[in-house]
Amino acid sequence: MRDLYARRWAPAAVIAVWAPLCILAAFPGQALASPARKAPKPAEKLAPIKASGQVRRWMRNMTLRDEVAQLVLIAFHGESPNSGSRAYLRFLRLIRDVKVGGLILTNVSNGHTIQKAEPYALAAFLNRMQRLARVPLMVGGDFERGASMRVEGVTVFPHAMAFGAAGDPELSRFEGEVTAREARALGVDWVYYPVADVNNNPDNPIINIRSFGEDPKAVAAQVRAFIEGAHSDRRNYVLVTAKHFPGHGDTAVDSHLNLPSIAADRARLDSVELVPFRAAIEAGVDAVMTAHVAVPALAPPELPATLSPAILTGLLRDELGFHGLVITDALEMGGIAKGFSTAEAAVRALEAGADTLLMPSDPEAAIRAVVAAVASGRLKRQRIRESVVKILSAKEKLGLDRKRLVNLEGLGDIIDSPESAERAQQIAERAVTLVRNRDNLVPLAEADQSCFVTMAESRYGMEGQAFAAEVRKRSPQARITPLDPGMSRADVEAAMDRISSCPAYTVAAFSTVGAYRGSVGMAGELERAMETLAASGRPVVLIAMGNPYLLRDFPNVNAYLATFSTVLPSEIAAVKALWGEIAIGGHLPVTIPGQAALGEGIQLAATRAAQPQP
């Protein structure tokens, strides 16, 4: 049947094939008439790569897609999942096959509390991932109070504002040294710190104690000191990052939820927000992280700074002269994601002048979008290569071409050294600031007569436990009432009834910032409980464990101390201050509107010997 079909149609087929050829032979200088076709777009002429030999070797066989993937950093939690698990297979794909450029360590929540990474599991996981990668991975982390922000079993530093209250940049320099040493030991080589934001808005729900304070020059001094400390030992060199450009301090909206806006004019920006960033650039900061904030004085009012060429290129690159890495804040945050798709945000960030794309919600979609933007001419291949060279040059500077794996056996001798822990405790103690002290309530003259109340931010966390333990060391019979926001109104009222006969109250109120929370106030029934105590007519000592602006809400308390941090060393420092075991010498790094001015602080000498620490 097939032969019959061929014989039957052969003449027609011959005619169909030969007719055009005959016409072409007759008119050799002309083509057949056909629909007009677009001329192919000429390929972009790429300039030679100006980079070291190592960087050129890494780039030698990279496709455009490989180059774009180097710009993407994905999140991980520091766990070490089974190699057959879905989580591990995802990392396998993104690192070995997609070839993303790096990782960022984030915490994981179990629904009640934040789980930090265990050091050895973290380091072991990073070793496995580094072995999968053809080009070494860059590993970053928001080590804002040292590695302890993300990792257990390391030196625990207080929040930045505690350093501002202590007022000595040398303490930030020391923190930089320890942070760099511990980070590199863990396998983290890119630290997203210091925070260069000037917290001049008391209602800021996401910066607050993450900032060194509201005085631009004082913040700049602390920023500079941390950078210099982190860069002081070439053997433990880390990339450091000033954030969040051009400033996130004068906002009242959490950019994890929505897009905040800074209403300041350019003159105010120059004299306040940009001062610490200039200092960071002068100090040799390696990277600048963008802010998901609108700045109408610099760019269209609905455009986040992260996506603004005027801010990232015009201001940061051209005016301020920064030539290092520009990294976006997490692209999954509401300040970006509510206005732009993953694909569009990725392309716009690179158009604006960013070099790396942090945590796009869909990494592969972001990569595809950038590749397509290059293919269409929206982005230049040369522009992509410029950022890739920067990233790979940074990896070479970190020595990742020579050593990318963590020494697990030596890890324990580097992290959480007793000397570093002792110094971190001293920093927390120097930060304690006495803002008010009517009737000289502090130090406590008759601690046994006071009832202690701890107000934690969660019933599942550890907040207040160290405070209570330290109180009982000194006053074994002390009445300590723990409250938390998960308690019902009836439970809180019952607790208040049980201590209604106390002659005096000392309250440790924990209140700090948290992503996606939207506020920094006391939750649940805790504010009502505090109002009850303040209205009791009895002396009240309020200790702000974290947010220093609490005094605005409870202006009638008799005494007010601020620690500017919620970490364990700050809990211990608060009790030592109450018992007069340490001198109180901190000064407010912020103004508490209507209550206390910038720089205020009552100075008290120590009156008792300190309790020995285990």
pLDDT tens digits, one per residue of 436-467? 999 999 999 988 788 999 999 988 889 999 99
Is it true that 53-122+136-405 and 432-578 share their CATH fold?
A: no
3-state SS string for 400-469: CCCCCCCCCCCHHHCCCCHHHHHHHHHHHHHHCEEEEEHHHCCCCCCHHHEEEEEECCCCCCCCCHHHHH
How do 72-76 and 357-358 pair as beta strands?
Answer: parallel
Using CA atoms of 390, 395, 401, 404 in order, give the dihedral in degrees to the nearest 10.
Answer: -160
CATH placement of domain 432-578: 3.40.50.1700
pLDDT tens digits, one per residue of 326-379? 999 999 999 999 999 999 999 999 999 999 999 999 999 999 999 999 999 999
Distance between CA atoms of residues 99 and 69, nearest Å: 6
Higher pLDDT, 23 or 502: 502
The CA distances from residue 520 to 53, 203, 363, 541, in Å, are 50, 8, 31, 21
pLDDT of residue 165: 98
pLDDT of residue 8: 34
b/e per residue 134-149 (b: at least 16 CB within 10 A): ebbbbbbbbbbbbbbb
Distance between CA atoms of residues 519 and 205, nearest Å: 5
3-state SS string for 272-295: CCHHHHHHHHHCCCCEEEECCCEC
Which H/E stretch holds residue 121? helix 119-132
Residue type at 80 in one-letter notation = S
Q: Cβ–Cβ contacts within 10 Å for residue 215, how many?
A: 19
pTM above 0.85, yes or no: yes
DSSP letter for each residue of 355-404: SBEE--SSHHHHHHHHHHHHHHTSS-HHHHHHHHHHHHHHHHHTTTTT--
DSSP letter for each residue of 94-105: IIIIS---EEEE
pLDDT of residue 103: 98
Higher pLDDT, 12 or 74: 74
Among 506, 496, 471, which residue's Cα sits nearest to residue 611? 471
Task: Please give the share of the chain, as a percent, with pLDDT higher than 70.
Answer: 92
Residue type at 315 in one-letter notation = L
The CA distances from residue 85 to 82, 89, 591, in Å, are 5, 6, 51
577 SS3 class: helix
Dihedral sign for Cα atoms in the order 491, 492, 493, 498: positive
Return the ∠ at Cα 66 (arms to 64 and 70), rounded to 5°: 115
Using CA atoms of 256, 259, 263, 266 in order, give the dihedral in degrees to the nearest 10.
Answer: 90
**Does the N-terminal peptide bond of residue 323 adopt cis geometry, omega within 30 degrees of 0?**
no
Kindly state the average pLDDT of the residues 409-434. Answer: 97
pLDDT of residue 448: 79
Token pair of 613, please?
């620490």
CATH placement of domain 53-122+136-405: 3.20.20.300
pLDDT tens digits, one per residue of 233-279? 999 999 999 999 999 999 988 888 899 999 999 999 999 999 999 99
Distance between CA atoms of residues 257 and 516, nearest Å: 6
The domains of the chain are located at: 53-122+136-405, 432-578
Count of alpha carbons within 13 angstroms of residue 15, beta-carbon side: 4
Return the ∠ at Cα 372 (arms to 366 and 374), rounded to 5°: 105
Cβ atoms 172, 219 nearer than 8 A: no
The total number of residues shown for the chain amounts to 614
Least trusted range by pLDDT, from 11-20, 179-188, 375-384, 395-404? 11-20
Residue type at 543 in one-letter notation = I
- Give the catalytic positions in this structure: 256, 329
Among 231, 328, 326, 241, which residue's Cα sits nearest to residue 280? 241
> In whole numbers, what is the pLDDT of the chain averaged over residues?
91
Return the ∠ at Cα 409 (arms to 408 and 414), rounded to 5°: 85
